[in-house]
Structure 1
Amino acid sequence: MNILVVDDNKAVQEKLAALIISQGHNVDLAINGLDALGKAQQGNYQLFVIDHLMPLMNGVQLTKNLKGNQLSSQVPVIFMTTQGIHTLKNLVEFSLFDKVIDKPINEADFLTILSEFTSAVFEDETLQVIA
């Protein structure tokens, strides 16, 4: 599974990349929303992990752009925030996020969420092969 992690904090990027790689997946990193949008248009991703507050293009703007693009509109988004999940629930865009998690990231919780998305992708691939 190819996953794009978008966060302006290098330490967070490295932590998430290590967790994702430990589960056997491929990871690309982007430093902000603008960087991520360019990579998403070039890459073949099955999951986006996106930080909320970033320079140039924040996570909400990025998610709107990704969901509005035919190539990435069906790719799930794990949205990360330091602001608390409750602050995001009032956003019109909240429904665009497939999962919202608080930062700092709890590793066990992140791995549980990651496995939910990866097993769903593998089930879809299996169904397509059988059909």
Structure 2
Amino acid sequence: MNILVVDDNSIILNNLTVLLSAHGYFVNTACHGLDASEALVNNNFDLVIIDHLMPIMNGIQLTKYIRQHEILAGIPVIFMTTQGKSAVPYLCDIKMFDAIIDKPIEEQSFINLVNELLIPNSRSQSL
């Protein structure tokens, strides 16, 4: 399964890449939403993990981009925030996310969530 992790913090990108790779996932990274939008057009991903606050294109803008494109719209999105999950409904329609998590992440809960979201979504297996 292919996962795209989008965050402007290189330490978080590295930590999530190591964690997800250790659980058998193939991971690509992007440092902001515009970089991620290009990766999404050129690759097939089964899950996108998106940071909230990033330069150039933030996580909300990137998720809107994903949901507006027919080919990408079905990809599950995990939205990560340091602002607190309870603040996100005041910023946007939370229905566009499959899950919202607080940073810093708790590794086992995060892996459980990833596994749960990827069970019904096997795009790469059917291609």
| TM-score (norm: length of structure 1) | 0.90
Q: Which has the larger radius of gyration?
A: 1
Q: Which moved more, 1:96-105 or 1:110-119?
A: 110-119
Instruction: Give the SS at the match of 2:86.
Output: helix
Instruction: Tell me the residue number matched to 2:7.
Output: 7
Unaligned runs of 5+ residues in structure 2 are: none
Q: Percent identity over the alignment?
A: 42
Distance in 1, matches of 2:115 and 2:44, equals 19
Unaligned runs of 5+ residues in structure 1 are: none
Instruction: Give the SS at the match of 2:79.
Output: strand
Deviation string for 1:68-99 (max 9, x for gaps)? 01111000000000000000022332110000
Letter in 2 for 1:84: G
Letter in 2 for 1:86: S
Q: Give RMSD over aligned pairs.
A: 1.7
Instruction: Give the SS at the match of 1:29.
Output: strand
Q: CA deviation at 1:121?
A: 2.6
Instruction: Give the SS at the match of 1:121.
Output: coil
Instruction: Tell me the residue number matched to 1:39.
Output: 39
Instruction: Tell me the residue number matched to 1:73.
Output: 73
| TM-score (norm: length of structure 2) | 0.93
Letter in 1 for 2:85: I
Letter in 1 for 2:13: Q
Count of residue pairs the alignment pairs up? 126
Structure with more contact order per residue of length (Cα contacts < 8 Å, sep ≥ 6): 2
